[in-house]
Amino acid sequence: MRILYTIIDIETTGNGIKGNKITEIAIFKFDGTQIIDEYTTLVNPQSPIPSFITGLTGIDDQMVRDAPTFAEISQTVLQFTQDCIFVAHAVNFDYGVIKEEFRQLGISFVRKKICTVRLSRKLIPGLQSYSLGKLCSAVKIPLKDRHRARGDAQATTILFHKLVNLPGSEGVIQKFLNARSQEATLPPHLPKSIFDAIPHKPGIYYFKNQKGEIIYVGKAINLKKRVLGHFYDKSTKETRMCRETASIDFELSGSELVALLMESAEIKRHFPTYNSAQKRIGRQYALFTYEDRKGIVHLAYNTLKGVPNPIKVFYNQTDCRAYLEELCKTFSLCPKYCHLQQTNASCSHHKITTCNGICAGEEAIEDYNQKVESAIFSIKSAQSEIRIIREEGRHSNENAVVLIEEGVYKGYGFIDHQLEVSSLEDIAAFIIPQKNTLETQRIVESLLPRSESFVL
């Protein structure tokens, strides 16, 4: 049975996939030996073409004003590519944009695909660059009308013709077309062997470009699954990042908590291009105390900037209020004097029924103030503890540990099960010191209730 290929190139309004619109498309139908048909047209994207795109392609709004929309050429594209293998240079971009155009029309577009970047890396190894321009120059392919659909598609067709005639090409192509191979899913510059080496375990991962520079750091409970998720994400940022990715390194963490802490430290160490300034923490809140004119001691909260001597800091108002509610229940405090409800009358907080009546004059002020002092003491005592959080290790013969002293994150480490550890000094020897930041503090406090920990 003869295999048919459609070698395709598109020009678009931008670099992503979602929200990107086609301005020109060229398709060469190829039977492995010769071109048997061709289709090229400008396309009206029904949206403005950015000036930088016009500067690159020469296509402007005036040129596409009377061109057909994608909806008008959709059936032609469907029929032209039917029963053919979709071939393109960095195929996931062209395929993804076309598939999205069809999706918006309510049409399913599914084709087997081959990437000529990945195919070239496999069959012509050792080149400095596999961009279409540099590759064509290396193998002496004339490249006319660069960054126009027909010129690039024609050059890609000549390149593909050369590739299919190289020794071993048939086996490589068959492997690429195997649905389980994931070759068509991976970024064009990423060797499959590197992806295959990533385990299904917790840890952090580094995306690197062709220069070896770290462009993104992430964390995952399942490294392989999370990394693969980037390749399926069609947002503009993810598409650009994946197209630049040429290598992936990883480090195992053993647990989600340690992975989060490792990720935070590495982002602040490398400041990768595709990591947003680390997850900005919203407005912080803090508990404080004051005595009113009646002599009643209040526990209250406000934004951190408005609190001169904070007792405890929180990263959102919800956590702050929830903590105050627990203090009220534990120490029989009054919701009114903990500022959980604003009222001139007695408290009537529906969640808390442990108030002994200070708000109604039924409890002595001295007795109530003593309970507030007990609550404050409990907060400060908890913050003065040396706490060890114990997590799963990177393998079955070790544990991960996180050290917190006086409420401050000190670092993490890994301890083999065979080693006897009985004191803080023993544990400290395995701790990798880390900076305590607002982000690491938030991570530790949010996951502490779910972690196994003990106090020294």
Burial class of 344 by CB neighbour count within 10 A (0 to 12, 13 to 18, 19+): exposed
> What six digits make up the tokens of 3?
């295999």
**Closest residue by Cα to residue 301 from 408, 316, 378, 406:** 316
Q: What pLDDT is recorded for position 381?
A: 77
Q: Are strands 452-455 and 113-115 parallel, antiparallel or unpaired?
A: unpaired
Write phi, then psi, for 202 (nearest 5 degrees). Answer: -70, 150
Residue ranges and CATH numbers for the domains of the chain are: 5-177 (3.30.420.10), 192-270 (3.40.1440.10), 285-382 (no CATH), 386-455 (no CATH)
The residue type found at 437 is T
Q: pLDDT by residue for the chain (456 residues), tens digit each?
A: 678 999 999 999 986 677 789 999 999 999 999 999 999 999 999 999 999 999 989 999 999 999 999 999 999 999 999 999 999 999 999 999 999 999 999 999 999 999 999 999 999 998 888 999 999 999 999 888 888 999 999 999 999 999 999 999 999 998 888 867 777 789 999 999 999 999 999 999 999 999 999 999 999 999 999 999 999 887 888 888 999 999 999 999 999 999 999 999 999 899 999 997 555 556 788 899 999 999 999 999 999 888 888 888 887 788 888 889 999 999 999 999 998 887 777 777 667 888 999 988 899 999 999 999 999 998 887 766 677 888 899 998 999 989 888 777 889 999 998 887 767 778 888 899 998 887 887 787 776 655 555 554
Q: Which residues partner with 405 through β-bridges?
A: 386, 408
Q: Are 192 and 182 in contact (CB under 8 A)?
A: yes
Q: What pLDDT is recorded for position 456?
A: 45
Distances from the Cα of 366 to the Cα of 34, 294, 295, 335, 369, angstroms: 96, 11, 9, 17, 5
Task: Please tell me the pTM assigned to this model.
Answer: 0.70
The Cβ of residue 389 has, within 10 Å, a number of other Cβ atoms equal to: 22
Q: What pLDDT is recorded for position 450?
A: 54
6: region left, alpha or beta (phi > 0 left; psi from -120 to 50 alpha): beta
Match 């070790």 to its residue by tokens.
398
d(CA 438, CA 280): 10
Match 């900005």 to its residue by tokens.
280
Q: What pLDDT is recorded for position 304?
A: 85
For 124-165, the DSSP string reads STT-S--SHHHHHHHTT----STTSHHHHHHHHHHHHHHHHT
